[in-house]
A and B are shown apart, each in its own frame.
Chain A
Amino acid sequence: MLGILNGQVYDPLNGVDGEKRDIWIRDGRIVAPEEVECKGAEIVDATGLVVMPGGVDIHSHVVGAKVNAGRKFRPEDHRDHARARTSFSRSGSGYTVPTTHLTGYLYTEMGYTTVMEAATAPLVARHTHEELEDTPMLDMGAFITMGNNHFIMNCIRDGQPGKARDYVAWLLGATKGYAIKIVNPGGVENWKWGRNVGELDDEVIGFGVTPRQIITTLAWVNDELGLPHVPHIHGINLGQSGNARTTVETIEALEGRRAHFCHLQFLSYGGEPGKLPRSGAAGVARAVNEHPNVTVDVGQVVFGEATTMTSDGPLQYRLHQLTGHKWLNDDVEGETGGGVVPVLYKRQNLFNAMQWITGLELFLLVDDPWRVFLTTDHPNAGPFVHYPHVIQLLMDRDYRAEALEGIPPRARKGALLAELDREYSLYEIAIITRAGTARALGLKNKGHLGAGADADVTIYTPLDDREEMFARPRYVLKDGEIVVHDGQLVRERPGRTLYVAPPYDPGIEADLRAHFEACYTISFDNYPVAAEYLPRGEMIPCG
């Protein structure tokens, strides 16, 4: 047994707001006060310290085919960011795209213990699971891209949503995935013709379906299957001027069904298509506030180096043409696509400055912290190691005002941000970094410190410098073991892979065999990821 005594506890899921509490842990779980046996217990004295559940990241690109492609083609990213091995940990390298072991260490040293890989193409899900095995410390799940899947689009065209439901259930089981991911629905398929979609009712070439139908069908499927998370949506027109309009339309298109909209900053721009955008955060935040069925994460831009990587193939080509930077593309048969392009976010660049403003405005204009979460869409808007910096921007309006002063006047002109004096409290930070994300993910044992929760705990030294406070936790406990002390890793331990296995009608397999025969280059029997790829899997039940 281990006790964390006298800390100021921030546990929003249990309504604890900075009160002094003791937390007791046995066998990797938080235990109820009546089960505590103090005798012989290991004690962590948290007097004067801030105690929170371990951080839960709802959206990050850290493992799998496109992340590794990003690592491979950016040696310049790694050269000055290497870490030596120790007697208990592996070496690694990388800043925007760190190696697997280093990713586990860096997240843990920042107090995060659960991270969701935001996009895995089904055909290469096995690769994701191999990297997960080599990513220590963290509990992780993978979202499976389905927004341009031929089988699903065929079901929609043929008016067979029930078949789509069974297919999605089969596919999540076959890939050992965690959630439905939708990326630029229809647009990635159209990119295989050199095109894109621009409106919710545009046609997907060769399928006669629309982005709207894809989104609403998968939202319906998600509810039917009772998946722990909701459909995780990267909408159409990402990065384009005027996309705030289609983002609001997409929120409305759900007609009340639940969904999560990721890295919304990239999808909240006003202005005319083709011209320099301005922030459209106000209108998008209003739509979010009016739709309690929706959660969002921000994807805050952090100035400096980043590596953009997404299944949104046409977007990445556009970014390559815009920047002239090297471009990876990977079209995946019958399922999805993707690309990787390095970028540098410059404070003095009007577009980048506007992106920075838009993200912060979203944080400050969405009223309910349970529905807006902290991400940098790592490594798209910046590396995850900068979360503490973003926390300081949210908690300290003077610091934020100073940062805004460094933005070119033309980008600042008329920006709402200057007028927003909201400051996040520690309680609210605990919501947007762990409690809210765990709840949105349907992870009942994460993001809180009540009895039965996984004993993932982060203990911070309270400092006015919030960046320093959140960058170097005093202690991090994973499954009840101290793994970080004074911001330094002190122990390596394996994490678990979180996955779902919803039931489906096995009758679908005959159709699937025929589909594989006609379209794939790998046989149906060799496609599913078997249990041996998840030596430490944890199935999260469907409701």
Chain B
Amino acid sequence: MSPRMSAIRVIENVVCSFCGCLCDDIVVEVDDGRITRVRKVCANGRGLFTHYDPAPRRPTVDGREVAWEEAVAEAAQILDRADSPLIYGLSSTATEAQRKAVALADKLGAMIDTTSSVCHGPTSLAMQAVGEPTCTLGEVRNRADLLLFWGCNPAVSHIRHFARYSVTPKGTLTPKGRRDRTVVVVDVRPTASTRAADLFLQVQPGADFEVLATLRALLQGAEIEAETVGGVPTAQLQDLVERMRTCRFGVAFMGMGLTQSRGRDLNVSELFTLVAELNQYARFCVIPMRGHGNVAGADQVLTWQSGYPFAVSFARGYPRYGPGEFSTVDVLARGEADAALILASDPVAHFPSAAARQLEHIPTIVLDPMPTLTAQVARVVFPTACYGVDAAGTAYRMDGVPIRLRPVLPPARPTDVDVLERIIEAVTVGN
């Protein structure tokens, strides 16, 4: 036997699909079918490449390993028997799989919802109410001289955002990088991100709306008698308004500090309106800090197939939109779903307990590359391939830029698309 030739393959410009940054400059080394080294990746994304074991695993039904055909048949039977099935998740899989998930929901007359409904769903509602002046991240890199981070903590959640897109990169109109920019962070407490800021405005929890409304009033020239608003000195707000009004190209990034605190979509509407109004004086845009790698793609796919970005019901044979009515936490907590298919998400780990417990009571189907808490309570579990690691697909960055996920490992597992296509074929409802 000849000694094994060392054939380390170095793959450049790999896309990390962990978060909405979709950094596409990762270098992965593969040796003997295993990832041996990952460079340029952040601490959050590293696990995607190093914790995933691509070895094929058989699907399970009630914890028992079965053949793929049997698991598909079982899943189809669960969905066929259900009166009110629910499809949820979608944000950590490729758009190719999301398209199949919506097709399945359409065929079943199911409800379908994405993780947007527990993160940036209120951002969609705000966009539907007042619009959204936005731009791609390259415009931030090349033009932005004022950055406002509101209710988000990229230093922890989107670790390379500052370096690749916003705070430090050198661009065509920002040749000195960090020194060409003013960075403002607004949050309810100091965070890792506030350390990167020139200005930190600490808002009292729950007071974001008041502070945003005050900024709009100041922009319109109103005089504010109160010395502080929402815990922030009015003088500091006046100073921020002056900076926003006189900058060249400002960009506001916003996160769940706005969407999931008191006021929710009203907070976001107020920020989006402020940003729109600032365009009378300077160019100003806003970019929501989308969390999961392809949650932006889930919004896109559900919108182009149904017309609505999340919380959709096909129960009447056509799409209806109902945040609060068809959003998954509400549906589960009210006991309105009698079967669930969870795609690339782990609601049992993240949902309020009333909703999470319901997933134990109804027959649940899980498609996920990783072991999850939801898989532990599920009736049927499909261990599928991981897009961007051992499967090819598409993901949308937080600014809507679609990027090809190329596999670095040879395919060994069925993909979400493979499994969903077979379930669509196997279900008889809607034939």
CA distance A91 to B309 in the complex (A): 15
CA distance A317 to B134 in the complex (A): 12
**A123 in the interface, Cβ–Cβ < 8 Å?**
yes
Residue from the list B124, B137, B249, B317 in contact with A72, Cβ < 8 A: B124
Interface string of A57-77 (1 = CB under 8 A from B): 000000101001101111101
With A72-B299, A126-B404, A519-B171: A328-B306 Cβ-Cβ less than 8 Å: no
List chain A residues, Cβ under 8 A from B319. 78, 82, 91-93, 99
List chain A residues, Cβ under 8 A from B99. 130, 134
Count of residues in B whose CB is under 8 Å from the partner chain = 64
With A73-B128, A99-B304, A320-B131: A192-B143 Cβ-Cβ less than 8 Å: yes
Q: Is the CB of B307 within 8 A of A519?
A: no
Q: Is the CB of B13 within 8 A of A194?
A: no
List chain A residues, Cβ under 8 A from B285. 329, 331
Q: Which chain B residue has the least Cβ–Cβ distance from A90?
A: B106
With A78-B308, A82-B319: A329-B12 Cβ-Cβ less than 8 Å: no
Q: Is the CB of A93 within 8 A of B131?
A: no
CA distance A84 to B317 in the complex (A): 5
CA distance A92 to B141 in the complex (A): 38
List chain A residues, Cβ under 8 A from B156. none
List chain A residues, Cβ under 8 A from B127. 72-73, 328
With A90-B305, A192-B139, A523-B24: A75-B321 Cβ-Cβ less than 8 Å: yes
**B316 in the interface, Cβ–Cβ < 8 Å?**
yes
Q: Is the CB of A93 within 8 A of B307?
A: yes
Interface string of A525-536 (1 = CB under 8 A from B): 110001010000
With A72-B127, A73-B127, A85-B430: A334-B318 Cβ-Cβ less than 8 Å: no
CA distance A78 to B307 in the complex (A): 7
Interface residues of B in 68-124 (CB under 8 A from A): 95, 99, 103, 106-107, 124
**B172 in the interface, Cβ–Cβ < 8 Å?**
yes
CB distance from A32 to the nearest CB of B (A): 41
Stretch in B145-153, B276-284, B368-376 with 4+ CB within 8 Å of A? B276-284
Interface string of A410-438 (1 = CB under 8 A from B): 00000000000000000000000000000
Q: Which chain A residue has the least Cβ–Cβ distance from B248?
A: A193
Q: Is the CB of B318 within 8 A of A93?
A: yes
Q: Is the CB of A127 within 8 A of B318?
A: no
**B60 in the interface, Cβ–Cβ < 8 Å?**
no
List chain A residues, Cβ under 8 A from B320. 82
CB distance from A337 to the nearest CB of B (A): 8
**B142 in the interface, Cβ–Cβ < 8 Å?**
yes
**B327 in the interface, Cβ–Cβ < 8 Å?**
no
Residue from the list A73, A84, A526 in contact with B318, Cβ < 8 A: A84
Interface string of A318-354 (1 = CB under 8 A from B): 0010000011111111100100110000000000000
List chain A residues, Cβ under 8 A from B103. 90
Q: Is the CB of A317 within 8 A of B279?
A: yes
Report whether over half of chain A's contact residues are helix, strand or loop; otherwise say mixed: mixed
CB distance from A191 to the nearest CB of B (A): 8
In this complex, the member of B131, B276, B403 whose beta carbon has the largest number of chain A beta carbons within 10 angstroms is B131
Residue from the list B24, B128, B134, B299 in contact with A526, Cβ < 8 A: B24
With A68-B304, A99-B304, A526-B15: A85-B318 Cβ-Cβ less than 8 Å: yes
**A184 in the interface, Cβ–Cβ < 8 Å?**
no
Total A-B pairs in contact (CB under 8 Å)?
A: 187
Q: Which chain A residue has the least Cβ–Cβ distance from B107?
A: A85
Stretch in B45-53, B181-189, B213-221, B393-401 with 4+ CB within 8 Å of A? B393-401
List chain A residues, Cβ under 8 A from B12. 525
CB distance from A149 to the nearest CB of B (A): 13
CA distance A73 to B314 in the complex (A): 20
CB distance from B249 to the nearest CB of A (A): 7
**A399 in the interface, Cβ–Cβ < 8 Å?**
no
Q: Which chain A residue has the least Cβ–Cβ distance from B400?
A: A65
Q: Is the CB of B136 within 8 A of A123?
A: yes
Residue from the list B25, B133, B317 in contact with A328, Cβ < 8 A: B133
CB distance from A262 to the nearest CB of B (A): 24
CB distance from A114 to the nearest CB of B (A): 20
Interface string of B403-431 (1 = CB under 8 A from A): 11000000000000000000000000011
CB distance from A383 to the nearest CB of B (A): 14
CA distance A77 to B306 in the complex (A): 12
Interface string of B251-285 (1 = CB under 8 A from A): 00000000000000000000000001001001101
CB distance from B361 to the nearest CB of A (A): 29
Q: Is the CB of A130 within 8 A of B305?
A: no
Additional pairs, 14, CB under 8 Å, beyond known A78-B319, A333-B142: A68-B300, A82-B307, A85-B318, A92-B305, A92-B319, A123-B138, A124-B402, A127-B300, A134-B304, A192-B139, A327-B276, A334-B142, A519-B142, A523-B24
Give me 21 A-to-B residue pairs in the complex whose CB atoms sit less than 8 angstroms apart, sorted by A's number: A73-B131, A74-B128, A75-B128, A78-B319, A84-B318, A91-B306, A93-B308, A93-B318, A94-B307, A124-B401, A126-B402, A126-B404, A127-B402, A192-B249, A326-B128, A328-B133, A329-B134, A330-B134, A330-B136, A518-B172, A532-B392
Residues on B facing A (Cβ under 8 Å): 12-13, 15, 24-25, 95, 99, 103, 106-107, 124, 127-139, 141-143, 164-165, 171-172, 248-249, 276, 279, 282-283, 285, 299-300, 303-309, 314, 316-321, 392, 394, 396, 400-404, 430-431
